[in-house]
């Protein structure tokens, strides 16, 4: 049965993914089931999306209720779910203005436009520069791709949007070296995800922030993967006592309903995008609003941040045991429930073996096993994962 669906998929879908040979059917808590009923422990959560676990009744009910009322209206009218979602998002982020999008890449596009407009309103010129980081990932659309520091992803699609410069995360001198009078923004992920689970250091964050303030450059933090509680604070930058001018969020924000947002401070909000500058048909529609609103309610009600802070040290400890045990695992890197096992060889075979053993994992780059589980995992789930991973490594 599985084979037939896979053949049909390969005949109909564009070949942009090398998919794992499994057809998933349903989910419950931290487990997924394929169409033949095989059960998998999920340490990927749809790539840092399904934070609350699958089949959460309260979340499902909120969506069903909204579907029966209205799914979509248009951004030319107000709707209560989006208003509620925006208020709650402001509260947890400490940012002032919200624009809802349909994806992470689209949030990054909006952030880039906001930064360019801010600079344009200051000096009337249009050739401003953005500094992004090597090994970064910001999405696949042309603007987001342009700030993605991975030449392999860009090569066939040149030219990029232009005036983008690259520096190295945690190397402040490399950032400073790229700053000119034309720099309008410095953009990076607080914890690099796809690029290999590299957390920005406190020192780097503070140095970049101070530089931005000194030169009126906007600090844009991409929190699409590392945000929404994954590192133990709602947004990863909140550990550092600094604040971005613009930030992006998506992935776990809707817990599966395709949503994103870019947020900004009042200062940027009052001097950047304005009526007619930006828009979206779907972004922040009633269904999206209901999803975001309920996700943020459940984060509070289920004490997700406290839970992450409790379970993450245990995950780190158990992963470190594997680092000790296996020669080819060089180190562990990460924050909270965003962890990578850095190996000295490609990890594709290990991930396939794990899948066979009923454990869903994913890579970040070719040599890193990435663990971004649902935020509701317990220590027992960690033990179960370690046992399955150990078996797959052996
Ligand atoms: C996934 C991701 C994106 C892109 O989000 P999409 O919803 O896939 O467009 C952007 N930035 C980061 C850090 C991501 O992890």
> What CATH number does residue 34 fall under?
3.90.1150.10
Claim to verify: residue 283 and residue 177 sit in the same structural domain: yes
Flag whether 290 is in a domain: yes
Claim to verify: residue 110 and residue 157 sit in the same structural domain: yes
Flag whether 241 is in a domain: yes
Q: Would you tell me the crossing angle of helices 80-93 and 286-301 to the nearest 10 degrees?
A: 40
106 CA closest ligand 1 atom index: 9
* Ligand 1 in reach of 189 Cβ (< 6 A): yes
Flag whether 380 is in a domain: yes
pTM of the complete model: 0.98
105 CA closest ligand 1 atom index: 9
108 CA closest ligand 1 atom index: 10
pLDDT in tens, the chain (394 residues): 899 999 999 999 999 999 999 999 999 999 999 999 999 999 999 999 999 999 999 999 999 999 999 999 999 999 999 999 999 999 999 999 999 999 999 999 999 999 999 999 999 999 999 999 999 999 999 999 999 999 999 999 999 999 999 999 999 999 999 999 999 999 999 999 999 999 999 999 999 999 999 999 999 999 999 999 999 999 999 999 999 999 999 999 999 999 999 999 999 999 999 999 999 999 999 999 999 999 999 999 999 999 999 999 999 999 999 999 999 999 999 999 999 999 999 999 999 999 999 999 999 999 999 999 999 999 999 999 999 999 999 9
Domain with 234 in it: 70-301
Flag whether 64 is in a domain: no
**Count of structural domains within the chain:** 2
* Ligand 1 in reach of 110 Cβ (< 6 A): no
Residue nearest to atom 6 of ligand 1 (CA): 104
Claim to verify: residue 334 and residue 252 sit in the same structural domain: no
Claim to verify: residue 40 and residue 89 sit in the same structural domain: no
Looking at 301, 317, 346, the residue that finishes a domain is 301
The DSSP secondary structure of 378-390, one letter per residue, reads: -HHHHHHHHHHHH
Domain of 247: which CATH number? 3.40.640.10
Distance CA 354, CA 166 (A): 36
Claim to verify: residue 276 and residue 312 sit in the same structural domain: no
Substitution site in 224, 236, 248, 261 for ligand 1 pocket (most atoms within 8 Å of beta carbon): 224
* Ligand 1 in reach of 104 Cβ (< 6 A): yes
Flag whether 166 is in a domain: yes
Distance 223 CA to ligand 1 centre (A): 9
Flag whether 63 is in a domain: no
251 CA closest ligand 1 atom index: 7
Claim to verify: residue 278 and residue 346 sit in the same structural domain: no
Residue nearest to atom 5 of ligand 1 (CA): 104
What are all long-range contacts of 363-367, with beta carbons under 8 Å and residues at least 24 apart? 364/193, 364/194, 364/195, 364/196, 364/197, 364/340, 365/194, 365/195, 365/196, 367/342, 367/343
Flag whether 237 is in a domain: yes
> CA geometry: angle at 292 spanning 47 and 226, to 5°?
35
Q: Residues 223, 48: contact at Cβ < 8 Å?
A: no
127's tokens: 């050739």
* Ligand 1 in reach of 143 Cβ (< 6 A): no
Query: What's CA 54's distance to the chain center, in Å?
Result: 18
* Ligand 1 in reach of 230 Cβ (< 6 A): no
Q: Which residue, 129, 109, 110, is CA-closest to 119?
A: 129
Residue 17: Cβ-neighbour burial (10 angstroms; 0-12, 13-18, 19+) = exposed
Claim to verify: residue 252 and residue 351 sit in the same structural domain: no
Claim to verify: residue 313 and residue 164 sit in the same structural domain: no
Claim to verify: residue 295 and residue 378 sit in the same structural domain: no
365's tokens: 């780059």
Claim to verify: residue 198 and residue 228 sit in the same structural domain: yes
Claim to verify: residue 138 and residue 264 sit in the same structural domain: yes
192 CA closest ligand 1 atom index: 13
Claim to verify: residue 184 and residue 250 sit in the same structural domain: yes
Distance CA 336, CA 182 (A): 36
């Amino acid at each position: 049965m599985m084979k037939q669906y896979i053949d049909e998929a390969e005949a109909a879908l564009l070949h942009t993914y090398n998919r794992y040979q499994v057809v998933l059917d349903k989910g419950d808590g931290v487990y997924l089931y394929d169409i033949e009923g095989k059960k998998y422990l999920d340490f990927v959560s749809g790539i840092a999306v399904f934070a609350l676990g699958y089949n959460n009744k309260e979340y499902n009910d909120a969506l069903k209720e909204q579907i029966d009322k209205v799914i979509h209206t248009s951004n030319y009218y107000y709707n209560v779910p989006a208003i509620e979602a925006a208020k709650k998002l402001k509260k947890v982020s400490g940012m002032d203005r919200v624009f809802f999008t349909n994806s992470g890449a689209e949030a990054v596009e909006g952030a880039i436009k906001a930064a360019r407009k801010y600079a344009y309103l200051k000096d009337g010129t249009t050739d401003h520069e953005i500094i992004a980081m090597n090994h970064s990932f910001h999405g696949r659309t042309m603007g987001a791709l342009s700030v993605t520091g991975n030449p392999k992803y860009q090569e066939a699609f040149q030219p990029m949007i232009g005036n983008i410069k690259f520096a190295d995360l945690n190397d402040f001198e490399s950032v400073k070296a790229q700053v000119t009078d034309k720099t309008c923004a410095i953009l990076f992920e607080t914890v690099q995800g796809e690029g290999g689970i590299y957390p920005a250091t406190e020192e780097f964050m503070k140095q970049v922030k101070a530089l931005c303030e000194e030169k009126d450059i906007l600090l844009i933090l991409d929190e699409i993967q590392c945000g929404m509680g994954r590192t133990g604070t709602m947004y990863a930058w909140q550990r550092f006592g600094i604040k971005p001018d613009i930030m992006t969020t998506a992935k776990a924000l809707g817990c599966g309903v395709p949503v994103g947002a870019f947020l900004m401070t009042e200062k940027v909000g009052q001097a950047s995008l304005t009526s007619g500058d930006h828009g979206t048909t779907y972004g922040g529609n009633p269904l999206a609003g209901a999803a975001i609103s309920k996700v943020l309610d459940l984060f509070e009600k289920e004490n997700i941040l406290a839970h992450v802070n409790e379970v993450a040290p245990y995950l780190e400890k158990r992963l470190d045991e594997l680092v000790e045990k296996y020669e080819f695992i060089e180190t562990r890197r990460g924050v909270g429930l965003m962890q990578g096992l850095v190996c000295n060889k490609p990890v594709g075979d290990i991930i396939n073996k794990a899948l066979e053993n009923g454990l869903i994992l994913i890579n970040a780059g070719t040599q890193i096993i990435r663990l971004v589980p649902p935020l509701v995992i317990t220590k027992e789930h960690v033990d179960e994962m370690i046992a399955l991973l150990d078996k797959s490594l052996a």
